[in-house]
Chains A and B, each alone.
Chain A
Amino acid sequence: MLRTDNLHVNYGAIKAIRGISINVPEKSIVTLIGANGAGKTTTLRAVSGIVKSSEGKIFYNDTDITGLPPHKIVAMGLSQVPEGRLIFANLTVKENLEMGAYLRKDRENIKKDLDFIFNIFPRLQERLKQSGGTLSGGEQQMLAISRALMSKPKMLLLDEPSLGIAPILVKTIFEKIVEINRTLGMTILLVEQNAHLALSIANYGYVLETGSIILEGPASELESNPDVRKAYLGEI
């Protein structure tokens, strides 16, 4: 469904990613893992058009989307949940969700999708009138994911959903990600530092290091790979 081909991104003179080629099949969860500064987030941002790639191509359903502005990419059904839960702090939870449906014209279906979201995250329904900034970290992450779902995407790009969230909520959120994948058949590209957690829900994984892919394979294989265990899963 999504394919990048030899993707390069530079921040000024610094090469953030060098030749990333990944493939995300439909209805699967694919994860990018790796340490800080490996280029995971940059890859995601390049896909969603927030940063421009200097070399390489991005294909979405075999259409070349390289260099398109972010709002056009969202309109094609690729929705990103940005790192650090970038929700609109001065809008209420409801307004945040409505912003997610910004590009949609089918007003009658929005209600149905809201119900689906409240079903997955009942907590959000309780806090509907509260402004986004007053939510806890975990709730903000739920809101960010829900908001992305409101645009009725065909594919979700999740950036570090576990970042800075209470461990107990991290588990819930990952369960919900799997639920979204199963019930909606949503294709998900997941960027995550918590390699163990990411590999436990993903079908396929890529290990990044200083801007390049050093290892790839089915998630279960990666999880048992001794190098990965040593480097990212805290085993000696």
Chain B
Amino acid sequence: MRKLQNNTKYLFITALFIILLINFLSDSINRYYYQIIIYCGINIILATSLNLINGYTGQFSLGHAGFMAIGAYVSASLSTYFAPALISLLGTGLVGKSIWFIFVLLCGGIAASVVGIIVGVPSLRLKGDYLAISTLGFSEIIRVVIQNLNFIGASQGFRGVYIYENGTRSLEMVSELSDVQYVFYEIPKYTDFFWTYLVAAVIIFSITNMIRSTYGRGFIAVKDDEVAAEAMGINTTKFKVTAFIIGAFFAGIAGGLYSHFLTYINPEDFNFLRSVEIVAMVILGGMGSTFGVVIAAIVLTLLPELLRDIQQYRMIIYALLLIIMMILRPQGLFGVRLHRKRKTNV
């Protein structure tokens, strides 16, 4: 066990070096490919964090896009509304930018996990389908609330903010203030290869290590059998909520990476389909296999791009591949076939 944990530590450090190395090459990579690579990274973060909830702890959540939306909007609005303060405090150097970015990402993650607690505590009393439906409901509520919040662009989407010298902040130019000086602060494009894959490496490392620990086995125990876990003295509610909080935190960070890459976010980016996409990655990769889920996240991000040539048939083939996969390998790409509970003949 000891040896294994040391191995993951070395793997983690090697991964960091590779990430740094590739980051120097990123300028020479074709913009289109670069974008896909970043999306792969964001999806890896989303899928592995959902895997902790759905795969390891066995709580079927369908609301991951909602947590992502919170992270995206919180970090983006901090980066724009507070841009003058952040610039005067941190400057525009590399270190300043890094601290700024880490700060807004963490805020987005924390905001998402706070909402995770609010959503999780009442809805984790539900099981299976009911939990899936209620989490789906919550994420739709989040989206609808954002759609109606004017200061972050409502359904128009959010790009940045005009800040006038007299302190007025507006999403659009104000005609009455035409003679006042203003600066338009758009969402800064801070997300690059380094940050995305740094977060991805951190989440993979921490989840793998956590699941191997005695504490982490509690998550698997909750999934295998709640009554037995309770009988062992495991506080099942605490484990479920913890999984939700950690999952939501990383989804929030993924949202922050997304908004600071695209520099434009729209509530529709975080709709039901986005949640389903992440769930598909977890199922395709094999519930409870971090490695499988990472591969699935990459495959499902690349697939629609690879099929771009055949235009209108693209989504049909995408869907068909998913169906065929599920028939041929129901346990997922790298999932181990899970042991079903033996039914006792009573």
A residues near B (Cβ < 8 Å) are 36, 48-50, 69-71, 74-75, 79-82, 84-91, 95, 98-100, 102-103, 131-134, 137, 140, 144, 147-148, 151, 163-164
- Besides A89-B341, A99-B218, 15 more A-B contacts (Cβ < 8 Å) are A36-B346, A70-B230, A74-B232, A81-B231, A82-B227, A84-B344, A87-B224, A90-B288, A90-B338, A99-B221, A102-B234, A131-B339, A134-B339, A163-B344, A164-B344
Q: List 29 A-B contacts (CB under 8 A).
A: A36-B346, A48-B231, A49-B230, A50-B227, A71-B234, A74-B232, A81-B231, A82-B227, A85-B344, A86-B225, A86-B228, A86-B231, A88-B229, A89-B225, A89-B338, A89-B339, A90-B224, A90-B288, A90-B339, A91-B217, A98-B217, A99-B229, A99-B232, A102-B234, A133-B339, A137-B344, A147-B232, A151-B233, A163-B344
CB distance from A131 to the nearest CB of B (A): 6
CB distance from A156 to the nearest CB of B (A): 11
CB distance from A143 to the nearest CB of B (A): 11
Check A79–B231 contact: CB distance below 8 A. Answer: yes
Number of residue pairs across A and B with beta carbons under 8 Å? 97
CA distance A79 to B339 in the complex (A): 25
Check A86–B217 contact: CB distance below 8 A. Answer: no
CA distance A86 to B227 in the complex (A): 8
Partner of A91, one of B220, B233, B345, B346: B220
B225: chain A residues within 8 A (beta carbon): 82, 86-89
Check A50–B233 contact: CB distance below 8 A. Answer: no
User: Chain B, 66-81, contact with A by CB distance < 8 Å: what is the 0/1 string?
Assistant: 0000000000000000
A36: chain B residues within 8 A (beta carbon): 346
A103: chain B residues within 8 A (beta carbon): 232-233
- Is residue B314 contacting chain A, with contact meaning CB distance below 8 A? no
Check A87–B231 contact: CB distance below 8 A. Answer: no
Given contacts A82-B227, A90-B220, A164-B345, contact A100 B339 (CB under 8 A): no
CA distance A88 to B225 in the complex (A): 6
- Is residue B3 contacting chain A, with contact meaning CB distance below 8 A? no
- Is residue B7 contacting chain A, with contact meaning CB distance below 8 A? no
CA distance A48 to B228 in the complex (A): 11
- Is residue B312 contacting chain A, with contact meaning CB distance below 8 A? no
Check A102–B214 contact: CB distance below 8 A. Answer: yes
B342: chain A residues within 8 A (beta carbon): 85, 133, 137, 140
A140: chain B residues within 8 A (beta carbon): 342
CA distance A75 to B231 in the complex (A): 10
Among B221, B232, B345, the one with the most A-chain Cβ atoms within 10 Å of its Cβ is: B232
- Is residue B274 contacting chain A, with contact meaning CB distance below 8 A? no
B31: chain A residues within 8 A (beta carbon): none
Among B233, B339, B345, the one with the most A-chain Cβ atoms within 10 Å of its Cβ is: B233
